[in-house]
A and B are shown apart, each in its own frame.
Chain A
Amino acid sequence: MSSFLDAREPAGIGRVPPLAPSWSTIGRVIEHRAMLYRRTFRASLFASFGVPLLFLTAMGLGLGGYVDQNPDPTLEGLTYLQFLAPGLLAATVMQAGSFEAAFPILGGLQWNKIFHAMFATPIRAADIAYGNIVWIALRLTLIATVFAIVIVGFGASRSPLLVLAIPVAVLTGLSFSTPLMAFTATQRTPDKFAAIFRFGITPLFLFSGTFYPIENLPEIVRPIAWVSPLWHGVDACRMLMLDTVGRDPLLFTIHIGVLVALAGTGAAFAARTFEARLVRG
């Protein structure tokens, strides 16, 4: 077989090669992430299955037992586990989505510079950003699906609409991933991540109605919930799993609208910051 490495005449200018479509180059970026994931997915099994199991047992059943002893009117007759499950689903996916948009992305841009290596090939900077976003969406879908299965195992779901809570939870995760990814592409060190997680992600996790209806929040922190994207995700998942979308379809639409707007705007910004970063070197 003839080979490139055989002696030959120097290659001339030749013809202009075809431009690969974005769906194809985005697919190549995803293929790379999948190749990496094959090595590490075993380690992430505990995080995928164990964490929801432990949280639902401890908070839903353990602590829930005390809550259910004298049910609070704000729970509207639900067991605490039923109330908590959708919130924890959205919150868990949100945390995973945030983490995936921080360290692994900075790694590819700064530590081993594999995104720079991709950028030296026909893959466009924006496609590298989009490819990573699609990959994160796939990861989050897996996490949300496993969580939903655990919820069903606990008998904590009241509606088959639980199936729709999976994409809503993924959307919630992406509404954090894409803006954070846009920010990550402007960073050279992970120094600011700790502050973002401590002052951003953790308070949102705690104050977005995940663990109890936000009417129970201390007054001073209640505004956090209203502006929190996580609250929109938590409440939308809850409406689906408790089959209450019909009660307030407008609110549900607002929830989804806010999440889509955030995820979409974040993705557009991520494409730009990736481009700026890769061009700067």
Chain B
Amino acid sequence: MALRITPLFAFGSRRALRMIERNLLVYKHGWLMLFSGFFEPFFYLLSIGFGLGRLVGDVVGPGGQTIPYALFVAPALLAASSMNGAITESTFNFFFKLNYDKTFASILTTPMSPGDISLGELGWALIRGALYTIGFLVVMVLFGLARSPLILLTLPGALLIGFAFAAVGMAATSFMKTWQDFDLIQLVILPMFLFSGTFFPLDSLPEGLRIVVQLTPLYQGVDLLRGLTVGVIGPETVVHVAYLLVMGLVGLSIVSRRLDKLLLK
């Protein structure tokens, strides 16, 4: 008897591309919406980075160098918006399509499998994330916030953050039953958004809290992008990348195991 090895990821086929094609069709009618997603981090950069930055002055950035507040906050906004975009798409929107829109139900009557759908949705979220990231990077260059050629690596960096959060978000959604359950997500996301070294350096936090913050995925992402933007990389860069990669893969393996729960009810 042949030994059957259950693959870690029980999906993957080129049909996932059809999912992306479908979303492209949808957005052909709503391209303005797609386009507008870019403006939120841009507005934050203008208001918080430059406006509030005047009051804050310079802060200590990666490698101990002193940098203007706008430069400090810009990569953090990029990381936070990658997280927010991925979470919104993989939780609220995914849940809506799953339970109300019945989009997936009709797609499942075709040769498309649950795996194709999940992978396709994930891929689409990443493509959107890439577009926003490129737009934001252009703005950073225009505002003179590009200090190092390493800033180009923030593109894959931001995608990695998006991938990690989208995979975990989708896994979490597979356990959700009602809209009320989503309050839990806000309970996790909002504190992370505010305290992960996004708006101010960690050195003002008490020692114990600082360690907790450093363990959060958003801090990992913020610190990764901030280092790349300023041009400071080191062993911690590798740790950040490994952390996010593992997080995404763990999320994905949970999703692949719970796909039936998710889609075939």
Contact = CB atoms under 8 A, between A and B. Distances in A.
Contacts of B54: 72, 212, 216
A55 B55 contact: no
Contacts of B180: 40, 43
Given A63-B199, A202-B40, A202-B43, A80 B55 contact: yes
B56 A63 contact: yes
Contacts of B234: none
Interface in A30-51: 40, 43, 46-47, 50-51
Contacts, number: 96
Contacts of A72: 54-55
A199 B54 CA distance: 24
B212 interface: no
Contact of B190 (A54, A69, A191): A54
B246 interface: no
Interface residues of A, number: 37
B2 interface: no
A73 to B, nearest CB: 10
A8 interface: no
Given A43-B180, A54-B191, A216-B52, A198 B46 contact: no
A67 interface: yes
A58 B36 contact: no
A60 B172 CA distance: 32
Given A43-B180, A62-B204, A218-B46, A67 B55 contact: yes
Interface string B25-67: 0000010110011011001101110111011110100000000
Contacts of A65: 200, 204
Nearest to A55: B194
Contacts of B46: 206-207, 218, 221
B207 interface: no
Contact of B55 (A75, A191, A203, A218): A75
Contact of A43 (B48, B183, B204): B183
A113 B199 CA distance: 43
Interface string B82-95: 00000000000000
Interface in A171-215: 191, 194-195, 198-199, 202-203, 206-207, 211-212
Q: Which 3 A-B pairs have the closest CB atoms?
A: A206-B47, A58-B194, A63-B200
Interface of A: 40, 43, 46-47, 50-51, 54-55, 57-59, 62-63, 65-67, 69-70, 72, 74-75, 80, 191, 194-195, 198-199, 202-203, 206-207, 211-212, 216-218, 221
Given A59-B199, A66-B59, A207-B43, 13 more contacts: A54-B195, A58-B194, A62-B205, A66-B200, A67-B55, A72-B54, A75-B55, A198-B36, A199-B36, A202-B40, A202-B43, A206-B47, A211-B52
